[in-house]
Structure 1
Amino acid sequence: MLALNRLVEEKDAEKILEYAREFHGHVCPYLALGIRASLIAMEELGVGRLDYSGSVDESILAMVEVNSCFTDGVQVTTGCTLGNNSLIYIDLGKTALTLVKRSTWEGVRVYADAERLRKYYPRGTTELFNRVVKERRGTPEERKRLWELWEEIARTMLELPKDEFKIERVRVPPVEQAPIVESVRCSKCGELVMETRVVYINDEPFCLRCEGEVYRAVVGRGIVDVSPRGC
């Protein structure tokens, strides 16, 4: 991703969006909004995209408050991802990113207000979105028109002025680095599981699914409890 690092350094939002398209699967306003918010936060904090060393050390953390298209824009732009343990998901349901330096725990929070951004949407876009995406009953023609509008609005989001965002300096309580733990084999299914996610019954290890314990999962509506019977 050396080319992407360079594009972020150059603040080439249009080309970053093309990387994000491949990662996310499509272009939409909030994917672009995640890119724009990330570039603002990185500039304010004086940091670049995570490189090899930074991602191993988790030197920069991105804290997102919503699991939406916005978050994929953040992951692509900052290099902070769920897999490299530099992305933290806080289930608050707000379109906001806090970018933090682990060395000082100083950060910048960038919040986008959906109501303020509606003025950038062409007339009828919200109603079209509701039919196609929210209600799942749009015609092929309506779906095509929505994707065209999404591309148009996304490029507008990439150029939003800073004063459309709430930007504030913050100090974040320290967050531990991802621990390295041993794996234990479940006595029932035979699969390896992190020892921190094992339940012992009569000194025998069981994974949470086999034991029937409730565990947590991130689904469309946020973090939910999952039981053997489903969400």
Structure 2
Amino acid sequence: MNTVGFDFENLLDESVKIHGHLCPGQVLGVKMSMLGLREIGIDEPKGKDRKNLIVFVEMDRCATDAVQSVTGCSLGHRTMKFMDYGKMAATFVNLKTGKAIRVIAKEEARDKAKEHFPQIEDKYKAQLEAYKVMPDDELFDIMNVKVAIRPEDMPGRPLKRVKCDVCGEFVQDMRDVLKDGKTLCKPCAFGGYYIIEDKPHGE
């Protein structure tokens, strides 16, 4: 189950430039992406296949930057979806064929890393070097999955744009909520991550 068809070293170098430093998460993210892309039949994620790929990432850690670097997917292009699960996992979807593979980093890979480089005392450095050479079946589990992507979650222009009846801000991509006969944004309907201390500047 080794990754083929991609240049690991070049992809890792490119990812490190974007992320800012080399770390075990970068290595995992690059290899995870290579494996996922190969399994769903995507050869040129930044070229001819760029419109056929969507990736769901389940972590907001270093590996996510690596996934973005390798795949070319991003939140801004609506080709990367962030699922806040706190898991070192990502699902790669081929929109053309419908094939989807979820790749999960194995927890036991952390301990096996030391077996590959017992001479390295620093556990972090041992993981970094070991992840580079460990085969995919030691690093990852993979599962075939089905992903139903809603039309409003696809790349392209918003399908809908409405004004919140409470705050007056506009909501697009059908993220509005109908509650008590009113059209609301999610923060007004359920509470948001922020607390308003003053009015927007300019009012």
User: Could you tell me the TM-score, scaled by structure 1's length?
Assistant: 0.62
Does structure 2 retain, via aligned residues, the 8 Å contact 1:97–1:109? yes
Unaligned 5+ segments in structure 2 are: 115-119, 198-203
Does structure 2 retain, via aligned residues, the 8 Å contact 1:64–1:88? yes
Matching of residues 76-225 of structure 1 within 5 Å: 76-121=69-114, 122-125=120-123, 149=125, 153-177=127-151, 178=153, 180-181=158-159, 183=161, 194=172, 196=174, 214-215=191-192
Unaligned 5+ segments in structure 1 are: 1-7, 127-148, 216-225
Give the residue type in structure 2 aligned to 1:194. Answer: Q
Quick one: distance in 1 between partners of 2:163 and 2:129? 49
SS of the aligned residue for 2:36 comes to: helix
Quick one: distance in 2 between partners of 1:104 and 1:195? 25
Identity %: 27
How far residue 163 of structure 1 moved from its aligned partner, in angstroms, is 2.0
How far residue 190 of structure 1 moved from its aligned partner, in angstroms, is 8.4
Give the residue type in structure 1 aligned to 2:21. Answer: H
Distance 1:187 1:61, change over 3 A: closer
Quick one: distance in 2 between partners of 1:205 and 1:31? 42
Distance 1:71 1:182, change over 3 A: same
Query: Counterpart in 2 of 1:136?
Result: none
Does structure 2 retain, via aligned residues, the 8 Å contact 1:96–1:112? yes
Counterpart pick for 1:28 among 23, 26, 29:
23
Quick one: distance in 1 between partners of 2:168 and 2:143? 48
SS of the aligned residue for 1:17 comes to: helix
Distance 1:214 1:19, change over 3 A: same
Would you say 1:73 and 2:70 are equivalent positions? Answer: no
Query: Counterpart in 2 of 1:17?
Result: 12
Deviations 1:34-60 (A, max 9, x none): 1011112222222124235644x4x22
Give the residue type in structure 2 aligned to 1:163. Answer: D
SS of the aligned residue for 2:133 comes to: coil
Give the number of equivalent residue pairs.
Answer: 185
Distance 1:119 1:173, change over 3 A: closer
Does structure 2 retain, via aligned residues, the 8 Å contact 1:64–1:87? yes
User: Could you tell me the TM-score, scaled by structure 2's length?
Assistant: 0.69
